[in-house]
Chains A and B, each alone.
Chain A
């Protein structure tokens, strides 16, 4: 059974801090790892990672995948209150096409 574990489950920081969110996984026939941000209702897509060691970057957010150690990190630099959200990690496999496995999420709270 595919498994995704995120840590920490929750995190409180102040504006300007840098945070690192972790996602480890066990999946048969790995295809990709995805990060989503869920602020109120609809999760929104952030990154899709398929290759080890290649950083994906979007503004203050960046993410990287380590397929040997089976984990990914999501970094947020110079955090803002608008970064407060639940960050979800999911993995897709070639074996179970279309059936993403999600982690529990990390709840990030950024205080002014």
Chain B
């Protein structure tokens, strides 16, 4: 148990589906993050929330839509994904910006 819980662990979806990834942290942290980890590529930051305010990475396609209803929960809504979006999606939290990240176990996403 890492203190950051992600569900589901695995997800297979078609290109026309809509699904959501969920992340919950029990650490009392104020910042939450979505990262994408693809094979042979470094971890890519997708979105950052601090005290529920979003800091967005401009290179993320609009088919990924984050939601942070409170400081403990973070969602990533997915729609009309492409096969190249298949990857491990990691949620993380930190006490404040620029403090060490605590990661969840990730959701392994496969887009068919």
Contact = CB atoms under 8 A, between A and B. Distances in A.
Interface residues of B, number: 26
Contacts of B40: 104
Interface in B1-21: 2, 4
A98 B98 contact: yes
Contact of B101 (A41, A43, A105): A43
A97 B106 contact: no
B42 interface: yes
B55 A4 contact: no
B101 A100 contact: yes
Contacts of A103: 42
A67 interface: no
A102 B43 CA distance: 6
Q: Dominant SS at the A interface?
A: strand
Contacts of A31: 98
B103 A98 contact: no
A108 interface: no
Which one of B2, B48, B100, B104 has the highest number of Cβ atoms from chain A below 10 Å of its Cβ?
A: B100
A98 B102 contact: no
A103 B41 CA distance: 9
A40 B45 CA distance: 19
A34 B98 CA distance: 10
A94 B20 CA distance: 32
A88 B40 CA distance: 13
A99 interface: yes
Interface string A35-47: 0100011111100
Nearest to B41: A104
Interface in B71-112: 88, 90, 94, 97-106
A43 B91 CA distance: 11
A42 B4 contact: yes
